[in-house]
Amino acid sequence: MDHFLYRDGALYAEDVPIAEIAAAVGTPFYVYSTATLLRHFKVLDDALAGMDHLVCYAMKAASNQAILKTLAQAGAGMDVVSGGEYLRAKAAGVPGDKIVFSGVGKTADEIRMALTGGIRQFNVESEPEMEVLNRVAGEVGVIAPITIRVNPDVDAKTHAKIATGKSENKFGIPIARARDVYAMAAAMEHLEVIGIDVHIGSQLTDLAPYELAYQKVAELTETLRADGHTIRRLDLGGGLGIPYARSNEAPPLPSDYGKLVERTVGHLGCEIEIEPGRLIAGNAGCMVSEVIYVKSGEGRDFLILDGAMNDLIRPAMYEAHHDIVPVIEPAPGIEQVPYDIVGPVCESGDTFAKQRMMPPLNAGDLVAFRSAGAYGAVMSSEYNTRPLIPEVLVKGDQYAVIRQRPTFEEMINRDSIPEWL
């Protein structure tokens, strides 16, 4: 459920007409709904209510300070994967003891930053990382709390580019080597082993791979405890899928996921962490764009938008489907026509949808890309010297620009010319 609905013939974000924001801010832009962000956070939080738990929002999905602050005020922790994300979380007021540091390539500088500023735990992904962490913790004079990310070799049945739990993926340590690696960690002076971490992929639309992975984690917990390790926290990762095509998709319910967690690892008495990104932010955001031209091609019509692959790369990168809806509600029963929906960037890959059925549209009409709140703005670039597009946050009948569109001058002045030129 989200808060982007038609009302009186026009698309609203909560109580604000999207066309009103477009008139004030210009297109293209991202718009997020506070009520949707909070609703999704609460649905997950409630799904784990029977267990001691913390929902750590995977802020890579959408990391604007205003979004982080909204979730932090609701009680969310954060999952970060870089020094930059760590500083963003801190700047949004998240205390260190609610920040989890994930990622396969944490540098010594990033580790030092988190150890100095405070951290809930590091999710360690390799032996060499463990050695660096132990050394830096010794230098800083603290004990680093860690879980070790295990790779359970489970097929998440999602897009290959976002599956992470198979043995050929770069993530985690093979579960078969876990006992050795835990023994190595326990012997390190400046580390404290507190638990296990697992994350098998993103946009999972089937709960079966979770069941398999979490059963393996439960078995490993018993084994490691028998080896003498304290396993008191399980980080179960993120990845729950969302509906992208509202017409025909029904991904798992968070409540069923909660029951699965309880069933597979609930008996272990561990504190549970999850790291959802997409489920919280995905359907809480839209990208709004204007039709620049309707162009008749050979046997097909193109809708050329002012938004492009640099603003929303998911269709080009993962062949991802986003529902694209007109901001003016189509009259009931209006005959739909097929369009290839494209951006202005000079690549054929700059195609959002092929032969998508839409009501007839004209230059100047606005469209909204649904489900663009996660991995939208954060993955955008300035390719073709197109400015990063603004982000707007709505709350009830109020809205605010939470990231400005840069001016061309600002963009150009970020470059510097060597003295020999």
Binding residues for pyridoxal 5'-phosphate: 239, 275-278, 375
DSSP state, 240? B
Binding site for substrate, by residue number, is 278, 314, 318, 347, 375
Residue 202 binds ligand LLP (CB under 6 A): yes
Residue 40 binds ligand LLP (CB under 6 A): no
Stretch that binds ligand LLP, among 35-43, 108-116, 237-245, 249-257 (CB under 6 A): 237-245
Q: How far is the CB of 47 from ligand LLP (least distance, A)?
A: 14
Longest dimension (CA), the chain: 70
Closest CA to 247 of 375, 373, 370, 162: 370
Instruction: Give the contacts of 44 (CB within 8 A, at least 6 positions apart).
Output: 55, 240, 254, 258, 274, 276, 279, 280
Residue 396: CB atoms within 10 A of its CB come to: 12
Instruction: Give the contacts of 303 (CB within 8 A, at least 6 positions apart).
Output: 291, 294, 339, 340, 341, 342, 358, 361, 367
State how far the Cα of 386 lies from the Cα of 378, in Å rounded to an integer: 15
Q: Quick one: 61 or 154, whose CB is closer to ligand LLP?
A: 61
Residue 375 binds ligand LLP (CB under 6 A): yes
Residue 58 binds ligand LLP (CB under 6 A): yes
Residue 264 binds ligand LLP (CB under 6 A): no
Residue 53 binds ligand LLP (CB under 6 A): no
Residue 386 binds ligand LLP (CB under 6 A): no
Would the CA dihedral through 158, 163, 282, 392 be positive or negative? negative
Residue 104 binds ligand LLP (CB under 6 A): no
Among residues 34, 36, 126, 203, the one that binds ligand LLP under rule CB under 6 A? 203
Residue 100 binds ligand LLP (CB under 6 A): no
How would you classify the pairing of strands 391-395 and 29-33? parallel
Among residues 53, 199, 216, 395, the one that binds ligand LLP under rule CB under 6 A? 199
Residue 79 binds ligand LLP (CB under 6 A): yes
Q: Quick one: 44 or 402, whose CB is closer to ligand LLP?
A: 44
Q: Quick one: 221 or 371, whose CB is closer to ligand LLP?
A: 371
Instruction: Give the contacts of 66 (CB within 8 A, at least 6 positions apart).
Output: 391, 393, 400, 402
State how far the Cα of 214 lies from the Cα of 220, in Å rounded to an integer: 10
Residue 276 binds ligand LLP (CB under 6 A): yes
Burial class (CB in 10 A: 0-12, 13-18, 19+), 335: exposed
Cα–Cα distances (Å) from 71 to 1, 84, 88, 249, 397, in that order, read 18, 18, 13, 27, 19
Among residues 172, 237, 254, 326, the one that binds ligand LLP under rule CB under 6 A? 237
State how far the Cα of 197 lies from the Cα of 233, in Å rounded to an integer: 9
Q: How far is the CB of 371 from ligand LLP (least distance, A)?
A: 10
Residue 238 binds ligand LLP (CB under 6 A): yes
How far from each other are the two terminal CA atoms of the chain, in whole angstroms? Answer: 56
Residue 56 falls in the annotated catalytic set: no
Among residues 45, 110, 275, 311, the one that binds ligand LLP under rule CB under 6 A? 275
Catalytic residue among 56, 270, 286, 346: 346
State how far the Cα of 173 lies from the Cα of 220, in Å rounded to an integer: 13
Confirm if 3 and 384 have CB atoms less than 8 A apart.
Answer: no
Residue 364: CB atoms within 10 A of its CB come to: 8
Residue 61 binds ligand LLP (CB under 6 A): yes
How many chain residues bind ligand LLP (CB under 6 A)?
Answer: 20
Residue 102 binds ligand LLP (CB under 6 A): yes
Residue 310 binds ligand LLP (CB under 6 A): no
Q: How far is the CB of 102 from ligand LLP (least distance, A)?
A: 4
Please name the residue that has the structure tokens 């050929």: 168
Among residues 132, 162, 268, 411, the one that binds ligand LLP under rule CB under 6 A? 162
Q: How far is the CB of 157 from ligand LLP (least distance, A)?
A: 13
Residue 314 binds ligand LLP (CB under 6 A): yes
298 forms beta bridges with none
Q: How far is the CB of 100 from ligand LLP (least distance, A)?
A: 9
Q: How far is the CB of 69 from ligand LLP (least distance, A)?
A: 19
Instruction: Give the contacts of 307 (CB within 8 A, at least 6 positions apart).
Output: 27, 28, 287, 288, 289, 343, 369, 389
Residue 315 binds ligand LLP (CB under 6 A): no
Using CB under 6 A as the criterion, which residues of the chain lie in contact with ligand LLP when the complex forms? 58, 61, 79, 102, 162, 199, 202-203, 237-239, 275-279, 314, 318, 374-375
Active site residues: 346
